[in-house]
Amino acid sequence: MQIVKDHGPITGESIAEKLNLTRATLRPDLAILTMAGYLEARPRVGYFYTGKTGSQLLADKIKKIKVADYQSIPVVVNENVSVYDAIVTMFLEDVGTLFVVDDESLLVGVLSRKDLLRASIGKQELTTIPVNIIMTRMPNIAVCYKDDPLIEVAERLIEKQIDAMPVVRKTEKGYEVIGRITKTNMTKAFVALAKDDLL
């Protein structure tokens, strides 16, 4: 690595000469350093030093994880269902966030446990108020796409202080909900990282 730092770009042959080694002896080491991202190899030019430390390389790898790699199945309710029915759905499906859609299955709102808890201690009759009265509505909903880097969505969940975000597909009419990404998914990604499942 020091030779490449000082003399790069430099061919494998020239590195071998400087070390008094044959190219064949050196090849596996150069392969490892290149695979690990410390060196980069360009045909007909040679090796050069990428300047990246081990933890920068790790950060690069984390940035390649997509939302699609960790997303869950979304649970949606129609905007006309009652708050009571939404709470029942939340318990049956055992999720912390419901996405609200209109009759064309387009995203119109989000309901968190907090929204439902707030409504449930109010004075209103839960079986008669529709969820579209209490939900967080478009355009105040943070959304993400399946190809977004997972880590960027993690940062947005923290920044916006929300537990979940719908994964959407954009259409001419609006957003279709195709997934759900939560702090549970982020915790799973964190565990996978430590278990070396992901790298």
Count of CB atoms situated within 10 Å of the CB of 139: 5
Find the binder of its own copies among 4, 100, 116, 167 (CB under 8 A). 116
Beta bridge mates, 136: 110
Instruction: Tell me, by CB under 8 A, how many residues bind its own copies.
Output: 51
Q: What's the closest the beta carbon of residue 106 comes to its own copies, in angstroms?
A: 27
**Closer Cβ to its own copies, 14 or 105, answer by number:** 14
Tokens standing for 65? 């994880």
Q: What's the closest the beta carbon of residue 168 comes to its own copies, in angstroms?
A: 20
**Closer Cβ to its own copies, 13 or 125, answer by number:** 125
Find the binder of its own copies among 126, 129, 138, 178 (CB under 8 A). 126
Q: For 117, how many CA atoms within 13 A lie in the half-sphere containing its CB?
A: 5
Q: Please state, in angstroms and rounded to a whole number, the distance separating the CA atoms of residues 60 and 54.
A: 10
134 with 110: CB under 8 angstroms? no
- Which DSSP symbol is given to 149? B
Q: What's the closest the beta carbon of residue 45 comes to its own copies, in angstroms?
A: 24
- Tell me the CA distances in angstroms from 102 to 70, 78, 138, one per residue in order: 26, 6, 12
The contact set with its own copies (CB under 8 A) reads 1-2, 19-20, 25, 28-29, 36, 54-59, 62-63, 84, 87, 90-91, 94, 96, 113-114, 116-118, 120-121, 126, 151, 154-155, 157-158, 161, 163, 182-184, 186-191, 193-196, 199
